[in-house]
Structure 1
Amino acid sequence: MCLGIPGEIIEINRDQPDLAKVSVSGVKRTINIGLLEDDPPLPGDWILIHVGFALSKIDESEAQAVLDFLEGIGQSYEDELAALRDSSIE
């Protein structure tokens, strides 16, 4: 991914707590949340994702504003969602 994309934490991996399942515009993937160990996200929290890593926690209104912007740029956002769909972190 080239863009920072908002995603909502769905669940934290109990066996590997540095991994979490997120939903990004309906695409569900596992990402690494280890960079947020000082303020670990919980299910329902929104995060900014870049190349499979959570970079920061953001609030829901900020997440929605970013999603609205990204959807407005069209193909670049669609390309990022396709890359997310094809990615895998285990």
Structure 2
Amino acid sequence: MCLAIPGQILSTAGDDLDRTGRVSFGGVVKEVSLAYVPQAEVGDYVVVHVGFAISQLDLHEAEQTLHYLEQMQMGEKAGGE
């Protein structure tokens, strides 16, 4: 099973295939490759898998996905108590 997580781009650097960005995943910030999403800019949401942004999400899709992930996490916590 593969897992890709949405995150928001905080900053970008470089060009073309060397383009990277600092992406926030709910407060955890990671450096990821933006080579596959050349149109993505600061403030945009991207789906990241193993260090590569593989697609761009609009705000509604990103918020919905983050909400589902949050619900799953709450369910795990409730099930473990």
Q: TM-score, normalised by structure 2?
A: 0.77
Structure 2: runs of 5 or more not aligned: 75-81
Partner of 2:42: 43
Higher-Rg structure is 2
Partner of 1:29: 30
Matched residues, percent identical? 35
Q: CA deviation at 1:74?
A: 1.7
Structure 1: runs of 5 or more not aligned: 76-90
Counterpart AA for 1:44:
G
Q: What is the aligned-residue RMSD (CA, Å)? A: 2.0
- Larger strand percent: 2
Q: TM-score, normalised by structure 1?
A: 0.70
The aligned length equals: 72
Looking at structure 2, the residues matched to 9 and 17 of structure 1 have their Cα atoms a distance apart, in angstroms, of 16
Q: CA deviation at 1:17?
A: 4.9
Counterpart AA for 2:34:
I
Looking at structure 2, the residues matched to 44 and 60 of structure 1 have their Cα atoms a distance apart, in angstroms, of 10
